[in-house]
Structure 1
Amino acid sequence: MENKSINLEVTNDEALVLFEMLSRFSNTDVLSIEHQAEQRALWNLTCIFEKVVSEAFDGEYEKSLSAARERLKDED
C-alpha cells in the first residue's frame, strides 16, 4: 500500500495548544488534558481527520489500522 500524504489545516490557536500538549507528553510520557482548550483542539482535529481519512469508514478499518501501526512503529 502506498503511504500517501494528507494535508491538514488547523488554526494557529489549535496548533499552539496542540503543540504544547504534545510537547508536554514528549517530556513526561503522560498524556493528559490540562486545559479545556486542549480537549476542544483534539475534538476539532478529530473532525478534520474524519474528512480526510477514508479508511475510518470502510469495512476494512481494523485491518487498515493494524497495517498502519506496523508501518509506523519503531523496528524491534
Structure 2
Amino acid sequence: MDDQITISLSSDHALVLFEWLSSRDERDFSSAHPAEQRVLWDLESQLETKLPMLFDPDYAERVDRARHAIGR
C-alpha cells in the first residue's frame, strides 16, 4: 500500500530544511540505513522543486533571514 502523507511547511521552514539536507554530505548519512538515506534524498529533491529561490543571487541572505525568523 502506497499511502501518501502531506506535510505543510512555511517557505522559511522549507528553505531551512532544504539547506540543512543539502549541506549534509554522504559521510553524514553513512551510518544510516539505505532506506533512510533514500528518504532524505527524496525529501531534499521534493523541496528543491518547490523552492524557486534556490538559484537567486541572494539565496544565502534568504536562508539567513529564514533562520532568523524561525529562531527568534
TM-score category (smaller protein): 0.5 to 0.7
Which structure 1 residue ranges, 4+ long, deviate > 2 Å from structure 2?
A: 11-15, 31-34
Which protein is richer in helix relative to its size? 2
**Count of residues paired in the alignment:** 49
Higher relative contact order (CA 8 A, sep 6+): 2
Q: What TM-score, normalized to structure 2?
A: 0.55
CA RMSD of superposed structures (Å): 2.9
TM superposition score normalised by structure 1: 0.52
Structure 1 vs Structure 2: percent identity of aligned residues? Answer: 29
Question: For the Cα contact (< 8 Å) 1:14–1:41, is it kept in 2?
Answer: no
Structure 1: gaps spanning 5 or more residues = 1-10, 16-30
Give the greater-gyration-radius structure (CA). Answer: 1
Question: Any gaps of 5 or more consecutive residues in structure 2?
Answer: 7-27
